[in-house]
Amino acid sequence: MSERLSRALTSRPARTVAAVTVLGALPFYLDAFWLRIGLFSMAAAIGAVGLGLLSGTAGQLSLGHAFFLAVGAYGYVWLAGEPGPGLPTAVAAVLAVLLAGAAGGLFSPVAGRVRGIYLGVATLALVFLGHHVLLTADSVTGGFNGRSVPPLELGGFSFSTDSELTLLGVPFGAEERLWYLGLALFALTWFTARGLLRGRPGRALVALRDSETAAAVMGVNVARHRSAAFVVSSMYAGLAGVMLALSFRRVVPDYFGLVLSVDYLAMIVIGGLGSVAGATAGAVFVTALPLLMTRYADQLPLVAAPGTTGGTVGPTEAARYLYGAAIVLVLLFAPDGLHGLVRRLRTRLRRHRSAPPPTPTTSRTATTSPTPSPAPAAPAKEPTP
């Protein structure tokens, strides 16, 4: 569904308008559970686009994304809250994003020198050291129990349930309001990332990934671009962290562990490396799947009701099984990710349509929107690390 929406976004302005209208109308129809899935997906998509830029386009394997998310989330909470400077929340949000970028910049002595799998494990260190700091620095981070997140206020409008607001008979709570904030931030991410990727910086990064020596010969400043990719990616992560903090309303250290980093890596690979749309699709897949499965797992066969013990499979476990199996299966049948899968389906559809006797296959036309296909969004990317 959202995958289709994201694909629609990639094409003509008309489609963009349609997508925005649909996404904008959703809070009037969905309940809080679905809106929360949407919020987490949007936050994850922002972060995944950042990681895609770094690992997919620039070819720098990073397992440290959770750390930069944590910097964004905790940065916002500390800057806006008590104890802390107690800045206006909007200022705190912007500063938190910059702080995450600065953290990425501080890591650049390592990021500029270390390559491939070494960089991956070096960034792994960030997650563990960061987690340790989050647990230890009680006064800033609240220690093990974390801190509650002050709601964002923008020009007197609060993104929380503090004030009553009803639009067209629909009560607007925190989820409904944050939904639009998420959409705006995601749109910002989408357009800036595409601009970066299609412009000079993106080309320089791709050249770097394919051959550092060749890129250097062509006049790309290797160390500067490598660190810049890290800083920009960290800023997207910081933005995602702020968004996550606002949606969760409480930040705890254990959330920002290695599992989160690995999830982001899974997002960009499942979505298809090197494309913004792919990263978005992967983010929605990885975020929404476990939540949906946990909610609906008890309706699956062979799953025991929650609370029963004794070696039976509970809903949480069933969700994990399905999640693991989904990762394996998607990559087994679509090694180039969802983005590649969509592209292949589209090509097949086009060939199908141009073939003389058009035998309509219902299943295929149902799964892909019949687009008079525009040029493939981003060129296929060769693997990275």
Minimum CB separation from other proteins for residue 129, in Å? 6
- Quick check: 279 and 270 in contact, CB under 8 A? no
114 touches other proteins (CB under 8 A):
yes
Question: Nearer to other proteins by C-beta: 81 or 120?
Answer: 120
- Mapped onto helix, strand or coil, the DSSP state of residue 212 is helix
Position 138, amino acid? D
Indicate the helix (H) or strand (E) that contains 166: strand 166-167
Give yes or no for residue 105 binding other proteins (CB under 8 A): no
292 binds other proteins, rule: CB under 8 A: no
Among 37, 71, 196, 273, indicate the residue that binds other proteins (CB under 8 A): 273
CB of 206 to other proteins, least distance (A): 16
Nearer to other proteins, 115 or 350 (CB): 115
Contact status, residue 77 vs residue 248, Cβ threshold 8 Å: no
- Which one of residues 26, 87, 262, 291 is an interface residue with other proteins (CB under 8 A)? 262
Is residue 70 within 8 A of residue 245, CB to CB? The reply is no
Q: 94 or 114, CB closer to other proteins? A: 114
Binding status of residue 83 toward other proteins by CB under 8 A: no
Distance in angstroms (rounded) separating the CA atoms of residues 89 and 79: 8
Piece of the chain touching other proteins by CB under 8 A; list 24-32, 39-47, 183-191, 209-217: 209-217
Q: Which amino acid is located at 144 in the chain? A: F
Indicate whether 258 belongs to the interface with other proteins (CB under 8 A). Answer: yes
- Our finding on whether 304 is near other proteins (CB under 8 A) is no
Distance of CA 240 to the CA centre of its chain: 7
* Structure token pair of residue 127: 């997650």
Interatomic CA distance for residues 208 and 205, integer angstroms? 5
Nearer to other proteins, 180 or 321 (CB): 321
The helix or strand, by DSSP H or E, that contains position 210, with its residue range, turns out to be: helix 200-210
Q: Which residue in 110, 187, 252, 289 binds other proteins (CB under 8 A)?
A: 110
64 binds other proteins (CB under 8 A): no
- What gap in Å lies between CA 309 and CA 60, rounded to an integer? 44
CB 331, CB 270: distance < 8 Å: yes
Using CB under 8 A as the binding rule, whether residue 218 contacts other proteins is answered as no
Binding of residue 279 to other proteins (CB under 8 A): no
Distance of closest approach, residue 258 Cβ to other proteins, in angstroms: 7
Which residues, other chains included, contact 261 with Cβ-Cβ below 8 Å and sequence gap of 6+? 62, 63, 64, 65, 66, 67, 123, 124, 127
Of 65, 131, 209, 226, which one interacts with other proteins (CB under 8 A)?
131
Query: What number of chain residues touch other proteins (CB under 8 A)?
Result: 51
Residues 149-188: x/- map of binding to other proteins (CB under 8 A)? ----------------------------------------
Q: Which is nearer to other proteins, 89 or 261 (CB)?
A: 261
d(CA 92, CA 309): 46
Q: What does the alpha-carbon distance between residue 186 and residue 43 come to, in Å, rounded to a whole number?
A: 8
The full DSSP string for 92-115 is: HHHHHHHHHHHHHHHTHHHHTT--
324 binds other proteins (CB under 8 A): yes
154 vs 328 by CB, closer to other proteins: 328
Three-state helix/strand/coil letters over 262-327? HHHHHHHHHHCCCCHHHHHHHHHHHHHHHHHHHHHHHHCCCCCCCCCCCCCCCHHHHHHHHHHHHH
CB within 8 Å of 301: residues ≥ 6 apart? none
Is 327 among the residues that bind other proteins (CB under 8 A)?
yes
Q: Which is nearer to other proteins, 151 or 385 (CB)?
A: 385
Minimum CB separation from other proteins for residue 263, in Å?
Answer: 9
Comparison of 324 and 370: residue with beta carbon closer to other proteins: 324
Binding residues (CB under 8 A) for other proteins: these are 61, 109-110, 113-115, 117-118, 120-122, 124-125, 128-129, 131-133, 135-137, 212-214, 217, 258, 262, 265-266, 269-270, 273, 311, 313-314, 317, 320-321, 323-328, 331-332, 335, 382-385
